[in-house]
């Protein structure tokens, strides 16, 4: 009985020492991470310019520009720029999983609405498992929002005619609603000589192709009027002569 007490005390002391060492090491690792955050951005990570697109991506970009002249072609666009998600779950977790991923080429209409995505990839045999899983998540996200995904192989890119045939017939460069507004804006009424300008029967509603229609954009928000003095001004008292004239 007398020998068990010193042994128990020794075991407890060893456990306390091990716990203290583990806690001290974790604090040291956390301090090292904080010191990395305190590094200057330019001093800790010296920046340098690099190419945005690979050779195959540049060729694919030029192919889309020639095949779809009425469309807007963008390169290396993050998914979070054209797909929105509810905020009921962690938005940072969604950004880590998918939102920060970039697609190679994006085809947009004149209103910058994405109508198709083109990915320039190597053969599946040349991809790792992690890359395949990431690309599968991208494909599921695009399919969920109804954006067509066209996968081009970087070693056998399609021609301009093939790209136009597979992408262009499926969506117009100008949305139907915007095209209808442009046609309506071109229908300028012309009043015949001697006619009543307020009667629709005397108007010519045929579009004039020579008239250039400029799209009216929404005005940008401005706070210029907030700087004006809107306090009520004090009027001078009326003179007796003014009262008699009234």
Q: Is 175 contained in some domain?
A: no
The proportion of the chain whose per-residue pLDDT surpasses 90, expressed as a percent, equals 34
User: Does residue 85 lie in a domain region?
Assistant: yes
Is 62 inside a domain boundary?
A: yes
* 45 pLDDT tier (thresholds 50, 70, 90): confident
Q: Is residue 146 in some structural domain?
A: yes
Number of folded domains in the chain? 1
| CB distance 68 to 173 below 8 Å | yes
Greatest mean pLDDT among 84-93, 139-148, 203-212, 224-233 lies in 139-148
pTM, whole model, 2 decimals? 0.58
Q: 238 lies in a domain?
A: no
Return the ∠ at Cα 153 (arms to 123 and 112), rounded to 5°: 130
- In the sheet that 114-121 helps form, which strands lie side by side, from edge to edge? 72-78, 102-108, 114-121, 149-153
Measure Cα distances from 69 to 84, 108, 168 in Å.
28, 11, 10
153-201: pLDDT as tens digits: 999 999 999 999 998 877 677 776 666 666 565 555 554 555 555 555 5
Q: Give a yes or no: residue 45 inside a domain.
A: no
Identify the domain containing residue 154 by its residue range: 55-170
Report the pLDDT value the prediction gives residue 37, as an integer from 0 to 100: 60
pLDDT for the residue 206: 53
Residue 48 maps to a domain: no
What is the average per-residue pLDDT within 6-31?
A: 75
* Any domain includes 217: no
CATH code at position 89: 3.40.1350
Q: How confident is the model at residue 214 (pLDDT cuts 50, 70, 90)?
A: very low
Helices 160-167/55-67 angle, 10° precision: 70
**Chain length of the chain:** 246
């Amino acid at each position: 009985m007398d020998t068990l007490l010193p042994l128990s005390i020794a075991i407890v002391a060893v456990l306390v020492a091990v716990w203290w060492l583990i806690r001290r090491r974790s604090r040291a690792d956390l301090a090292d991470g904080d010191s990395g955050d305190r590094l200057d951005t330019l001093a800790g990570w010296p920046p340098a310019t690099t190419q945005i697109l690979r050779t195959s991506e540049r060729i694919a970009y030029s192919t889309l520009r020639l095949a779809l002249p009425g469309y807007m072609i963008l390169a290396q666009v993050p998914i979070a720029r054209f797909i929105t998600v509810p905020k009921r779950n962690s938005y940072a977790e969604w950004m880590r999983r998918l939102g920060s991923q970039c697609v190679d080429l994006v085809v947009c209409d004149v209103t910058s609405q994405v109508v198709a995505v083109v990915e320039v990839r190597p053969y599946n045999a040349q991809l790792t498992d992690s890359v395949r899983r990431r690309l599968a998540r991208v494909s599921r996200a695009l399919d969920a929002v109804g954006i067509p995904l066209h996968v081009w192989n970087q070693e056998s890119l399609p021609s301009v005619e093939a790209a136009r045939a597979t992408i262009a017939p499926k969506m117009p460069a100008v949305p139907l609603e915007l095209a209808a507004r442009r046609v309506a804006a071109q229908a300028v009424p012309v009043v015949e000589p001697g006619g009543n300008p307020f009667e629709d029967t005397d108007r010519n509603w045929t579009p004039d192709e020579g008239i250039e229609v400029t799209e009216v954009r929404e005005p940008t928000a401005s706070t210029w009027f907030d700087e004006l003095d809107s306090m009520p001004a004090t009027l001078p008292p009326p003179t007796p002569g003014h009262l008699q004239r009234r």
